[in-house]
Structure 1
Amino acid sequence: MSMIEATRAAGRWSVWAAAAVTLTLSVGCGQEAAQFETPEGCSEETGTCEAEVFVNAEEFEFLRRQGALVLDTRAEATYATGHVPGAINIKWSVFAKPDFNGILYDDAETLQTIAREYGVNDEQPVLIYGGGGSSESASGRVFWTLEYLGHENVYLLDGGFDQWTGARFEAIEAGVNEAVAGDFTVDLQPQRRATIEEVEAAIEDDTIRLVDTRTIEEWFAENLRDNPEGGHIPEAVHYHWENVLSEDGTLRPVDELRAELEALGIVDGTLAIPYCQSGVRSGFFYAVLKYLDYPEPKNYDGSWWEWSRDEDTVKVVEERE
């Protein structure tokens, strides 16, 4: 029994299940759709794939056709000109408190209301994609947010939108889709989010590695980004988040990434806490750490925006050699 059949039998998700079937039937004039076959590692019987965290274009399309919710994290204008059929546009910042530059709302009820507004359901898988390359960080931030809210079935499209269009599954869709309200129940997972107090404690803990995922200019306080002070958190190591990407925007080989991280002291058994300016770039790095099978990482959503504004925190400023 497929996922769609199972949910119909249970009397749930009839709206998104039916929509998923409809979307696979439309191909734009002049565009030849690629013949689609079930990817290796995916099951038509269960409607699932073995992949975790990141999925390739074929796995993404399989799950989409099985009825997964698709979230597009690109700019609204870009999304409106063309997107994966059925995708809902979402800004990573909708879950963050206004004027706090990335820090999430504190109460579960508010976060739950927002997630439901974008069509998130309890048992429905969520597929997230962005624009690829340097713009892909927003997709990782949404991934981390939904994981923090307790959703256990969230995936990122490796390489972003261009990987899907390059596979020519179906014509892209223009316009704006309105989400059907979901029924997602938030179950906050504090082990996935670092507070400023936890980051301060991590400075003195050899089993924890703070990872600064910003640019090298931000690390050396050469680019303050409107913060009152520059520099970095004590004992942090620097690893620009874009280093994980290859030229086509997909992830670099696992062995290469692990070797680079191990050289920084991020080894098996290390709890990594990435941060950036507002927890967006580090949100993507959080997803990469999970993909690489490191212990449950924590994203610091307050990041340098919060750290630089706290008078009691230590800021380290170094000069380039």
Structure 2
Amino acid sequence: MQALKRLTGLGALVLSLTLAQVALAATPLVSTDWLAENLKRDDTIVLDIRSPFAGSSREAYLKGHIPGALWSEYPGYWRTDRGDVVGVLPSVEKLEAALSELGVADGKTVVIVPAGGNSSEFSAAARIYWTLKYLGHDEVSILDGGHRRWTEEKRPLETGAVTPVGDMFVAEPRADYLTGTSDVARRMNTSTVLIDGRPASQFAGQAKHSKATRFGRIPGAVSLDQGVFYDDKAGRLKAPSEIAKLVPQGLDDKDVDIVSYCNTGHWAATNWFVMHELLGYKNVSLYDESMVGWSQDESLPIASERTMMDDVKAFFSNIFS
């Protein structure tokens, strides 16, 4: 009987530990309720990514942030430039050093907190999320609605800076999450689907990124402006049922090979996040050099609806602007 009691006590302890682990199991998007419940755990790291990019600043973070949240400016150390190609993934070694300083390590859940402003600002959170996943860190989530939703619900804030407690982050990169220019060129005219996350005007060649040297898109690409997935008024992604209806027709096979791109791999991160993490497409990679990198290689083809009249209009517009 005593042995049974001891066994029961041990079983209760195991059950308690199991429930604690389950409580921390995060999904790609976590609610403010979930974060509030797990906020004080030592294995939860909250990254507040409000920055000038999102129309905010470190000063705004210092005036009020989710308790315990660390400030991590975007793009900051999350992206770098190589020559004239902007916003690409830094070296694994540099990212390991930056994440170790933040205290990220195996077994710790990272929650990314965007401002909650617009779709492009959400892409910053998605790009950081993708980076951590690429590096092999699966315990990562984005706070649904971001800082805006947290404050609208009048949840507690704290002021001042939070000093990170360093740890050892060791990356295990997933090569299939990242695609380079030569690989994209090789996969043209195959079963691979190229998803272009830019606005329709850029897809058609009516406009372009300032660093792109040519107008247009990668031939054969499918237009999917990442902004369609975001509800600007609510400051969050649309409901999953709505999101599923916005995927281009013909993508019924969840095993199809997909490359997500835009100008610099920023907007493309939202399309990657939605398709790979929320909708369950298994083979989605991100092309971080995107159109800026592609356009600078004159040997690579470009498709465009741009006409000579568009060039003439742009010429006179530049003169009189």
TM-score of the aligned structures, taking structure 1 as reference length = 0.79
2:195 aligns to what?
211
Match of 1:318 among 302, 305, 309: 305
Q: Are the aligned partners of 1:211 and 1:236 in contact in 2 as well (CA < 8 Å)?
A: yes
1:11 aligns to what?
none
Say what the alpha-carbon RMSD is for the aligned residues: 2.1
2:122 aligns to what?
136
Match of 1:98 among 81, 91, 108: 81
Identity percentage over the alignment?
26
Q: How far did residue 93 of structure 1 move?
A: 4.0
Cα distance in 1 for residues equivalent to 2:206 and 2:298: 20
C-alpha offsets along residues 155-187 of structure 1, whole Å, 9 cap, x if unaligned? Answer: 0111211122223331x2233323222211111
Q: How far did residue 271 of structure 1 move?
A: 2.3
Match of 1:117 among 101, 104, 118: 101
Equivalent residues in 2 for 1:253-268, closer than 5 Å? 253-263=239-249, 265=251, 267-268=253-254
Q: How far did residue 262 of structure 1 move?
A: 4.4
The structure with the largest alpha-carbon Rg is: 2
1:12 aligns to what?
none
Cα distance in 2 for residues equivalent to 1:97 and 1:294: 28
Match of 2:255 among 259, 269, 272: 269
Match of 1:73 among 28, 49, 57: 49
Letter in 2 for 1:53: P
Match of 1:88 among 64, 67, 70: 70
Paired residue secondary structure (1:71): strand
Cα distance in 2 for residues equivalent to 1:82 and 1:310: 45
Cα distance in 2 for residues equivalent to 1:44 and 1:234: 50
Q: Are the aligned partners of 1:245 and 1:251 in contact in 2 as well (CA < 8 Å)?
A: yes
Match of 1:198 among 183, 188, 212: 183
2:291 aligns to what?
304
Paired residue secondary structure (2:205): coil
Match of 1:54 among 11, 29, 34: 29
Q: Are the aligned partners of 2:26 and 2:139 in contact in 1 as well (CA < 8 Å)?
A: no
- Structure 2: segments with no counterpart, 5+ residues: 1-17, 52-56, 308-321
Which stretch of structure 1 is more off in the superposition, 43-52 or 290-299?
A: 43-52
1:242 aligns to what?
227
* Alignment of 1:181 onto 2:181: no
Letter in 1 for 2:69: A
Match of 2:110 among 107, 120, 126: 126
Q: Are the aligned partners of 1:202 and 1:210 in contact in 2 as well (CA < 8 Å)?
A: no
Q: Are the aligned partners of 1:237 and 1:264 in contact in 2 as well (CA < 8 Å)?
A: no
Match of 1:222 among 177, 188, 206: 206
* Alignment of 1:45 onto 2:4: no
Which stretch of structure 1 is more off in the superposition, 222-231 or 311-320?
A: 311-320
In the TM superposition, structure 1's runs of 4+ consecutive aligned residues that sit over 4 Å from their partners are: none
Q: How far did residue 284 of structure 1 move?
A: 2.2
How many residues are treated as equivalent by the alignment? 275
Q: Are the aligned partners of 2:230 and 2:238 in contact in 1 as well (CA < 8 Å)?
A: yes
Q: Are the aligned partners of 2:206 and 2:306 in contact in 1 as well (CA < 8 Å)?
A: no
Paired residue secondary structure (1:98): strand
The 1:263/1:93 distance shift into structure 2, 3 A limit, reads farther
Higher strand proportion, which one?
2
Q: How far did residue 136 of structure 1 move?
A: 1.4
2:145 aligns to what?
159
Equivalent residues in 2 for 1:4-23, closer than 5 Å? none
- Structure 1: segments with no counterpart, 5+ residues: 1-42
2:4 aligns to what?
none
Letter in 2 for 1:141: R
1:17 aligns to what?
none
Q: How far did residue 97 of structure 1 move?
A: 2.9
Cα distance in 2 for residues equivalent to 1:58 and 1:248: 17
TM-score of the aligned structures, taking structure 2 as reference length = 0.79
Q: Are the aligned partners of 2:206 and 2:305 in contact in 1 as well (CA < 8 Å)?
A: no
The 1:93/1:121 distance shift into structure 2, 3 A limit, reads same
Letter in 2 for 1:146: L
Q: Are the aligned partners of 1:53 and 1:155 in contact in 2 as well (CA < 8 Å)?
A: yes
Q: How far did residue 240 of structure 1 move?
A: 1.0
Q: How far did residue 281 of structure 1 move?
A: 1.4
Q: How far did residue 86 of structure 1 move?
A: 1.4
Cα distance in 2 for residues equivalent to 1:304 and 1:189: 23
